[in-house]
């Protein structure tokens, strides 16, 4: 056993490492041989890295933008004083149900009057002051709902425009954040959207669809993740529509909002991968006479995210490259870092 451990095992290790070294040297010389033809040697065909050509066809494009949103309570409507003076009477208490035009409170103020000008018995001019004219302005409800707050007291002094209370409308809306790509697809949005509430009632149509800036912190949701940087994308536009009466949902519930912004049938279409640009104008590449791809400007219509309508610049049956060509930047980027910024 001593002989085996001392001589045999070390010799076997040396032989194994020698075989590995020889194999690596052989592989290195074969891989770097200038006359070697990998395709011919292996019999495998070469790989074509060019973009395949596809014909321009016809199809139906349905521009439906589907985004994730939530049910939210409509914000309270502020009540503001319409005159400067003193609160002389409160007509309602917080929590009361009010309709548009209902009296909420009175504001009393005094209006100075000019003195009475005359002459005395001797013909001298006189000026007799008059008491101020007392006026009362009634602040009314500008929205229907529940008087959530009433932030003034009797005999309190208020100025024009001071917030004196809020009215909660008691209605709900569906809100959803839109990414930049969503906004481009909704340049002409409809007035309604189809809403599906997770675990809730059957899908329903919400009305009064509007696109605008978020109304509060609850709407400042992220619209996704930037595929280049991995950072969240903050949406700057929110879609909002009203939940119809009779639909049982609650604030905070998750919902899927589907906005159909147009449909076109029997349209000229190409895959979105073939077009550089996505709104109104774009560029495609067509095979040239010598086989070199040539740029062709086109005008664009609707898109469903998979294919895009071509409204000008191409005819049915023409060939285009299925993928937008990527310029060879190997010389400018020898280390494969993806451009000057990595």
Print pLDDT tens along the chain (342 aa): 565 566 666 777 777 877 787 777 777 666 554 444 444 444 444 434 467 889 999 999 999 999 999 999 999 999 999 999 999 999 999 999 999 999 999 999 998 888 888 888 887 888 888 888 999 999 999 999 999 999 999 999 999 999 999 999 999 999 999 998 888 888 888 999 999 998 899 999 999 999 987 655 444 444 445 544 555 555 468 999 999 999 999 999 999 999 998 999 999 999 999 999 888 899 999 998 887 889 999 999 999 889 999 999 999 999 999 999 876 554 444 434 343 333
Distance CA 140, CA 102 (A): 5
CB 244 within 8 A of CB 251: no
Q: Are 197 and 253 in contact (CB under 8 A)?
A: yes
- Give the global pTM: 0.62
Contact 319, 309 (CB under 8 A): no
Q: What is the C-alpha to C-alpha distance for residues 98 and 110, in angstroms, rounded to an integer?
A: 29
Model pLDDT, residue 271: 94
User: Which residues fall within 8 angstroms of residue 4, CB to CB, at 6 or more apart?
Assistant: none
Residue 170 falls in which region: left (phi positive, over 0), alpha (psi -120 to 50) or beta: left
């Amino acid at each position: 056993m001593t002989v085996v451990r001392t001589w045999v095992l070390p010799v076997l290790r040396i032989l194994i490492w020698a075989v590995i070294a020889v194999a690596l040297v052989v592989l290195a010389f074969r891989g770097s041989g200038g006359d070697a033809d990998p395709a011919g040697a292996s019999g495998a065909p070469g790989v074509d890295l060019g973009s395949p050509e596809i014909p321009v066809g016809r199809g139906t494009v349905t521009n439906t933008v589907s985004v994730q949103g939530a049910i939210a309570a409509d914000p309270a409507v502020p009540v503001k004083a319409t005159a400067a003076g003193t609160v002389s009477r409160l007509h309602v208490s917080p929590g009361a149900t009010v309709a548009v035009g209902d009296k909420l409170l009175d504001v009393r103020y005094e209006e100075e009057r000019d003195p009475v000008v005359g002459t005395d018995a001797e013909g001298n001019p006189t000026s007799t002051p008059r008491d101020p004219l007392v006026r009362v302005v009634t602040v009314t409800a500008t929205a229907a709902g529940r008087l959530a707050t009433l932030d003034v007291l009797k005999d309190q002094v208020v100025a024009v425009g001071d917030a004196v209370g809020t009215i909660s409308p008691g209605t709900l809306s569906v809100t959803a954040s839109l990414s930049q790509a969503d906004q481009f697809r909704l340049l002409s949005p409809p007035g309604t959207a189809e809403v599906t509430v997770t675990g809730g009632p059957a899908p329903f149509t919400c009305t009064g669809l509007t696109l605008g800036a978020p109304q509060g912190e609850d709407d400042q949701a992220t619209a996704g993740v930037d595929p280049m940087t991995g950072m969240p994308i903050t949406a700057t536009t929110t879609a909002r529509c009203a939940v119809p009466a009779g639909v049982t949902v609650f604030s905070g519930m998750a919902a899927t909002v589907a906005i159909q912004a147009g449909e076109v049938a029997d349209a000229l279409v190409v895959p979105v991968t073939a077009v550089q640009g996505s709104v109104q104008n774009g560029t495609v590449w067509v095979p040239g006479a010598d086989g070199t791809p040539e740029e062709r400007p086109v005008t664009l219509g609707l898109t469903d995210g998979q294919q895009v309508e071509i409204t000008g610049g191409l005819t049915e049956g023409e060939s285009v490259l299925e993928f937008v060509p990527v310029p060879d930047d190997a010389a400018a980027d020898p280390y494969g870092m993806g451009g000057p910024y990595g």
